[in-house]
Structure 1
């Protein structure tokens, strides 16, 4: 597949139909996939969760994934954080003129593989071709619908003093991967993105207990930004134990050389979970039984002190205020 995308592929005629048939339909076809103006879907007869997200990562291929995988994981994980089983996705794709068709085919193939792993169906979509230089290779927007699990109600405003703070694995890998993939600093480190679909991890937790207060995916701004958002929403303080925060050695080394804090680097396959402390051991055990959360750990607790702030406690008991987030360290990470 050596040809490239042309403006004709976005004109709505024969070339557009061929592109849909040979790339999108070839990989994403299912009984609900439609060429009509909208998909008609069966509903589960209960509350639904609904989310949408755009993906413009640069570079669009990176160790551990690509923009296609990212576009499925991002929306699936947003639904999962609400305790919703992902059911259906749509995707809108804006392609730069000149993108090799083999690259587009690879991205869509990865989308199909990731969706199949989760059990979610891509049922509708749209394709546009932009002129050379108007888009950086490819932008993807996915919209998802999920079925809420009975008895689950999560929100960033539900953390209470005494709760445990859990992360589902080592942090900062996606942001570090994207940074190194740009070859800006000439650092050679074996770091791969944590990009992964997390509904299985959430489902495993909810099979143990539905008494979970907060689930958030730590994407832009990383775990540190998410914790500050939760502290503000719930009007609580959060105290972290520095020794308990899992960081891969390669990520820690790269961050040390660049003066970066892993807590503020994006994750694309990690969640922050806040739940009653009594439930934490069972939740961590359930998470560790799933493929993308084997390093889940309790990293801190929710407190009534220092409301709206996140405090770090060192191994010797010293405490310091984690600086509030001041904007994304890296542009175009998702």
Structure 2
């Protein structure tokens, strides 16, 4: 297995970059291969009794448990709701599993659970099953949370990472890098004139309005681990198209930009938890953008690039000085343990 010559798992294997991709391609996919798994989307879409369903699962190990703008609990709910929604599905039900470290204050766990209940109600989903395990002190980092979800996919939608087509437009729903830099600012004790707050949010309401005006959206993706760059690289490879970004059009919060410059990071690789990428036909882009900007979670929506037939499988960017650069997927992750 060509896993970058690592004999053991390293943090980079969970970072959403090349190491994660190799782990999936060379270990998990060969072992579990089936038609639904092949697409490697945010959620698997399948048909049961004539009804198209979407199912997704995710685990959350963020450190610290509480951060500006949220905590691990609402992050878990929003993240799974978003994964289901990226297939065009309406999320309905979630399950939740807790792995709790001995010694975690009950008050902290109560706060996390309350925020999960609020997030689920806001997203319009129900938590219908769960599990709890407790591990020895020193073996759990407070609490880890696993969530799984299921939703219904309306007829007529064909959304997936392999559906991008030359001529399509690439849209982002707002400023990038907010979540990752909110986590890092807490870890590093950084303070800025304007606080950096996580963007964690459930995007199913925004997506529903987008699909109302454009049921032919080709790709939806929430750029979490690895950020916008990793998500677009995966889409380019899956669809075998090229993607060209205009760097000057990518919205970045000034405080996030300053933090990235201070830490030597590129916001295009930093995780988001309340933003989406949409790849839509060019002739329908204006109405999609208009609807997104009228929604509270899409006020700063921007068109940031286009899909081309040249350089299939590659992501490139037009720089501010008129040049171009290839944006490759990173080996690991700039910021481990951010979701």
Could you tell me the TM-score, scaled by structure 1's length?
A: 0.85
**Which of 240, 245, 250 is matched with 1:235 structurally?**
240
1:164 is aligned to 169
**Map 1:31-180 → 2, pairs under 5 A:** 46-180=51-185
State whether residues 177 and 191 of structure 1, in contact with CA within 8 Å, keep that contact through their aligned partners in structure 2: yes
Q: Is it true that 1:269 corresponds to 2:264 in the alignment? A: no
Q: Distance in 2 between matches of 1:116 and 1:306?
A: 44
**Runs of 4+ with >4 A deviation:** none
Larger Rg: 1 or 2?
Answer: 1
**Which of 303, 311, 317 is matched with 2:316 structurally?**
311
Q: Distance in 1 between matches of 2:155 and 2:288?
A: 18
**Map 1:233-312 → 2, pairs under 5 A:** 233-312=238-317
State whether residues 44 and 147 of structure 1, in contact with CA within 8 Å, keep that contact through their aligned partners in structure 2: no
Q: Is it true that 1:215 corresponds to 2:220 in the alignment? A: yes
Q: Distance in 2 between matches of 1:100 and 1:324?
A: 39
Deviation at 1:187, TM superposition (A): 4.6
CA deviations 1:3-34 (Å, max 9, x no partner) are xxxxxxxxxxxxxxxxxxxxxxxxxxxxxxxx
Could you tell me the TM-score, scaled by structure 2's length?
A: 0.83
Deviation at 1:317, TM superposition (A): 2.9
Q: Distance in 2 between matches of 1:295 and 1:44?
A: 41
CA deviations 1:198-222 (Å, max 9, x no partner) are 0011101001011111001100000
Deviation at 1:129, TM superposition (A): 1.1
Q: Distance in 2 between matches of 1:276 and 1:246?
A: 21
1:24 is aligned to none
Deviation at 1:172, TM superposition (A): 0.6
Deviation at 1:243, TM superposition (A): 1.1
1:204 is aligned to 209
Count of aligned pairs between the two proteins: 291
State whether residues 233 and 328 of structure 2, in contact with CA within 8 Å, keep that contact through their aligned partners in structure 1: no
